Amino acid sequence: MLEAISLSKNYGDYHALKNLNLIVNAGEVYCLLGQNGAGKTTTINLFLGFIEPSEGKILINKQSVSSSDELRRQHLAYIPEVVMLYGNLSAVENLDYFSKLAGFNYSRSHLQSLLAESGLQEAAHNKRLNGFSKGMRQKVGIAIAVAKDAKIILMDEPTSGLDPKATAEFSLLIKKLANEGRSILMATHDIFNAVEIATHIGIMKQGELIHTLKANEISATDLQKLYLQTI
């Protein structure tokens, strides 16, 4: 579903991303590990079209895309570290608004079922987001991605600042999305969660993808050792 071919991004003499080759198939969760400045967020921003590549190509569903390509709007959803929604609107109202922006018009009961499927407790459906925790906001963000029928979901540090319970709930949601056939690319610092939810793990350093691993072939302890040796 999502592919980078020899993808690079330069800012003058600074190489933020160097010759990245990466594939995320349907039903896969690909976690990118690396220190700040390793190139994780640059990779996500390139896929989203927020910045233009210096070299290389991006494919979505095997089709090459440009920064303004309709394929991005059709297939991609983005959940940043801090999900930016309207605090003065309720969860249902936010979901209704962003669904309509994407061209979908759902009944109130359907909106509530989408929120419930994303793990948001029923008592919070009609409450304003001003009082929501980060984990609750993420659940609304996931509901929006599902409502717009996004086949590819990009996430940047989604578990940062979450408590263990919220992290566990988030992990279950990610597995559910992957089981539905969605492709997920996630930038994270959370080594142990990456092993828990990922199908593939990449370790980045100074703009390069140094290691690509299958998550079921490495333990969290061994991944931590490899990560520390790499950075």
Tens digit of each residue's pLDDT (9 = 90 or more) over 41-84:
999 999 999 999 999 999 998 888 875 577 888 889 998 888 88
The residues that bridge with 57 in the sheet, in sequence order, are 5
At 38 the pLDDT is 93
Helix (H, G, I), strand (E, B) or coil at 203: strand
Tens digit of each residue's pLDDT (9 = 90 or more) over 134-148:
889 989 999 999 999
- The values of phi and psi at residue 195, to 5°, are -65, -35
Tens digit of each residue's pLDDT (9 = 90 or more) over 151-167:
999 999 888 877 888 88
Confirm if 24 and 2 have CB atoms less than 8 A apart.
yes
Q: Is the pTM of this model over 0.75?
A: yes
The pair of structure tokens assigned to 59 is: 């494919």
Among 23, 124, 118, CA closest to 79: 118
Burial 151-187 (b: 16+ CB within 10 A, else e): bbbbbbbbbeebeeebbeebbebbeebbeeebbbbbb
Q: Which residue shows structure tokens 């072939």?
A: 217
Which H helix or E strand runs over 196?
Answer: helix 191-197
Tens digit of each residue's pLDDT (9 = 90 or more) over 10-33:
999 999 999 999 999 999 999 999
Tens digit of each residue's pLDDT (9 = 90 or more) over 172-194:
889 999 999 999 999 998 898 89
Helical packing angle, 91-101 and 134-147, nearest 10°: 30
Domains of the chain: 2-230 (3.40.50.300)
